[in-house]
Amino acid sequence: MKAYRASLLRFDAAGQAEFDADGGLLVGPGPQGTQRVLDVGPWSRVAPACEAPGVVFEDLRGQLIAPGFVDMHIHYPQTDVIGAPAAGLLPWLEHYTFPHESRFADPTYASSVAEFFLDELQRNGVTTALTFATSHPASANALFAAAQARGLRLITGKVLQDRHSPDGVRDQTEQSLIDTEALIRRWHGVDRLGYAITPRFAPTSSQAQLQGAGELAARYPDVWVQSHVAENHDEVRWVAELFPQARSYLDVYRSVGLLRARAVYAHCIHLDADDRALMRDTGAAAAVSPTSNLFLGSGFFDYAAADAAGMAYGLASDVGGGMSFSPFHTMRAAYVVGREGQTKLGLSLSPSHLWWQHTAGAAQAMGLGGVVGNLQPGCEADFVLLNPKATPLLARKTAQAESLDELLFALIVLGDDRVVARTHIAGVQP
C-alpha cells in the first residue's frame, strides 16, 4: 500500500467538490488486483492508516492531489492535425484530416503515433479517454496495445465510414462491421480497455452501415457507442438532405438503435428541446468540446438548456479540431463558452463545476461513475499531482487564494501541462 499527504480534491455523489487543505490518500490492491482508493480524507483522521507499518508514505504538502482527468472525445489519429488552418469543419476534414488518417493503414505508423498520443495524455494528466481511431483496424489495434502496456483505462474503436469519404479512409460496409465485431471480441473488457462502436458521423455512413452498427450495439450492450452530432449548420443541413425521413440529426441515430446508455455524442450544439429530452431519456451523453467549437467557429454548447433538460455531459479536447491536449485549456474554453453562448447575462460556470465536468462528471456521463474520475473509496487509483506554483504568475495568484474556487479558477485560467507534476495510472507513477 502507498499513502500520500497533500491537499486533496474529490467530489461527492451530487457532484459537489470536497476539499482537504491537509489531506491523506491511501491506495492499495482492490478487486482483481487493481489499485484502488482505500481511504481518503482529512489527515487528522486518516494519518494512522497512512503511517501504518508496511505502508510506503510520501509527504507532498504544498501540492494538490486530484482525480485524473477524463477526456470524453478525442481523435488520436489527429495528433498531427492540430493547428491546421481551414475555413470550417467540412473543408478541414477534406484538406487535412482525411489525408492524414489514410496513413494509419500502416501498423508501424499507427503504433508510433499511439505512443506519442498516450505520452501527451499522461503528460497533461488525462488518465481515461474515449478515443476515435481511424477506419483501419490496425489503428485501433495499435492504440489498444499501447494502452494495455501502460495499464490505462482507454476506450476506442475503428471508425465506420463507407461513403462520402475519399479513397484511403473509406471502408466497405459488410467488412467494416465484421472488423468491428472482431475488435470487440479481441479487446473489449480486456484489462482496463473498452470498445466503442464508432460511426464517424451520419453523412459518412450508409443506412446499411448505421443499421449494422445498431445491431452490434444491441448484441453487445456493455460496449460504448461514439459519434458526432449537430456540430455546425452546414453539417446539419447536409444530414437533413441525406436523411429526409429523420425528425432531426440526432433522430438518425435513434432510428438505428445507437442512442442508449454508454452512447457519447460529440458537440451537441445545434439541438432542440426534443433532442435534449431524447438524450436524457435514452441515457446518451454529450461530449462538450469547447476549444474545437471555438477554433472551427461551430457555435456554443447550451449549458443552461442541457441542465434544464437533465441531459448528461462532460468535457473533451477533440484533438485535432481542438487546440490542446490540456484539460486546463479545455476548462478555460468551457468557461468562455458559458459566458458568451448563453443568455444575454451570460452563464458563469463555477470552477468546481468545470473541474467536475472533466473528471467525475465525465466519468458518470460515460457510465464509469464510481470507477474513475474521482478519489472516493473504491475508485481506481488514477490521480494527478498538481503544482500550484508551477509558474511565477500562478504561484503569485494561488498564494492569494482564499477559497477552493479561487484556487481552482487560478489553475484553470493560468494552468497548462507545467502544472501536472506527476500522473499516476492505477496507483503507479509511469
Q: In angstroms, rounded to a whole number, what is the distance separating the alpha carbons of residues 59 and 319?
A: 35
Q: What is the mean pLDDT of residues 294-311?
A: 90
In terms of Cα–Cα distance, which of 1, 5, 12, 63 is closest to 37? Answer: 1
Mean per-residue pLDDT, 322-327: 90
Q: Does the CA dihedral 76-81-87-93 come out positive or negative? A: negative
User: What tens digit of pLDDT does each residue of 210-255 get?
Assistant: 999 999 999 999 999 999 999 999 999 999 999 999 999 999 999 9
Q: What pLDDT score was predicted for residue 323?
A: 84
Predicted structure pTM score:
0.96
Quick one: 290 exposed, middle or buried, by C-beta within 10 A (0-12, 13-18, 19+)?
A: buried
pLDDT for 429 beyond 80: no
Domains of the chain: 2-67+375-424 (2.30.40.10), 69-365 (3.20.20.140)
- The per-residue pLDDT for 342 is 56
- Which of 397, 327, 325, 406 has the alpha carbon at shortest distance from 362? 327
pLDDT at 322: 74
What are φ and ψ of residue 313, in 5° steps? -160, 165
Mean pLDDT of the chain: 94
Question: What's the one-letter identity of residue 46?
Answer: V
Confidence bin at 136 (pLDDT 50/70/90): very high
Percentage of residues in the chain having pLDDT higher than 70: 98
| CA–CA dist 385, 418 (Å, integer) | 11
Compute, in degrees rounded to 10, the torsion defined by CA atoms 277, 279, 285, 289. Answer: -70
Answer with the residue of higher pLDDT: 52 or 88.
52
CA trace torsion 148, 154, 160, 166 (10° rounding): -80
Question: What is the band of 343 on the pLDDT scale with cuts at 50, 70, 90?
Answer: low
Interval 91-103 mean pLDDT: 88
How far apart (Å, rounded) are the C-alpha atoms in residues 340 and 318? 20
